[in-house]
Amino acid sequence: MSALSASAFVAPVLARRALRGAKPTRARAARNVRVNAQYDSISDRRARETERVLDRSQEIHSMQEFEAGLSLAGDRLVMVAVESEEECVMADDNWSQSAGSANLQFNDDACRQLTSSLARIAREAENVNFLRVEVTEGGGARDVARTLGVDKYPTYQYYKNGELLWQHVGAGAGAQEALSEGVLYYGGAGASGLRTSDYVQEIKSKGDLTDFIESCAMAQPAQQGFDVGIDVPCDRQLAVVDIGMDKDAPAGCLHIFPAVISLARNTVGFTRWARIAIDANDDCRDICKEWGVESVPAFVFMANGQIVDKYAGSDRLELMNRVLNFQKSNGIRLPQRAAPCFLLCAVAARLS
């Protein structure tokens, strides 16, 4: 899946940047009317979206406000955006302020695009809390940023239960995807209200693992446009466990997780999916040690309670091929798109 996109909780900054970069153009009067009407419509929609996002975010000016924001979130994911209108870094070691003027404009555009795309995450991830630290000269927000260990902007931090789990620095290539993957991986939230827990079971103990292994996916009826449903006996179903980490997860864990969700959604009835964090607790560590897991992300494939395959890596295509190879080798036929009727359907309709 890609995933994941980004944050309008910095909408005021975005608006100022947009106004600063706008250039007047001339057009014919009739076209101007259409363009202005369209602009007003888009502007109104964005204003409503921004208002909704800002209602769900909290602007932070002090560490007391920051700590209160984490406390109020409970066990929900908290995404903290630390941004500055004056400073923009493309990567962890590439400051726009030390670059040439051409690079400055490119960086400014990249930060503006990232801010805009973050708006979609804030709109769609309703089970994620958002805190916004807008750093300005002489403001208290800069002290907050220093306390959080942030000295480059933008920096996005992900907290859960008061603990910093992961952060992303910079607005360069891949930033939008990385932030979306972070919310999906740590917050369990995706586009259009998707909840990862609907497709992937969380394993927190040896008992959870036993329940998962002994479970059985229900038969699925044929979906519209497909020829058959899915009805696979329990002992021929594939059970897949995605092994990752909670704290400072390698980029590969986040990168492959959208593919895990996509496969889980599209193979319902044939596969069962679960995830386990190797650093979650002693039970999880013992399970992964017993499986011989040496690096993450890693995947363990089971059928009828037995391990049938293992894979360590973050190649989305390789993961998909492992699932499909099991399906083919066990003679499991997945639904195919129904062929169009055309002439035969027309003849049948006349005869009926």
Residue type at 244 in one-letter notation? G
- In the sheet that holds 128-135, the strands lie side by side as 57-59, 128-135, 77-84, 155-160, 163-169
Domain 199-329 has CATH 3.40.30.10: yes
CATH: 3.40.50.620, 3.40.50.740, 3.40.50.1820, 3.40.30.10. Which one for 8-193?
3.40.30.10
Domains of the chain, by residue range, sit at 8-193, 199-329
**In sequence order, what are the residues at sequence separation of 6 or more whose Cβ sits closer than 8 angstroms to the Cβ of residue 119?**
6, 7, 8, 9, 11, 49, 50, 53
Please report, in angstroms and rounded to a whole number, the separation of the first and last CA atoms in the chain: 44
Instruction: Please tell me if the domain spanning 8-193 has the same topology as the one spanning 199-329.
Output: yes
- Bridging pattern class, strands 271-277 and 238-244: parallel
| Contact criterion met (CB below 8 Å) for 322 and 299 | yes
Write down the pLDDT at residue 317.
96
Q: What are the pLDDT tens digits along the chain (352 aa)?
A: 433 333 333 344 443 343 344 444 444 455 554 545 555 666 676 566 556 656 677 899 999 999 999 999 999 999 999 998 888 888 765 444 444 434 444 467 788 788 777 877 887 888 899 999 999 877 789 999 999 999 999 999 999 999 999 999 999 888 999 999 999 999 998 877 889 999 999 999 999 999 999 999 988 887 777 666 788 899 999 999 999 999 999 999 999 999 999 999 988 889 999 999 999 999 999 999 999 999 999 999 999 999 999 999 999 999 999 999 998 888 887 767 766 655 555 545 555 5
Write down the pLDDT at residue 178.
92
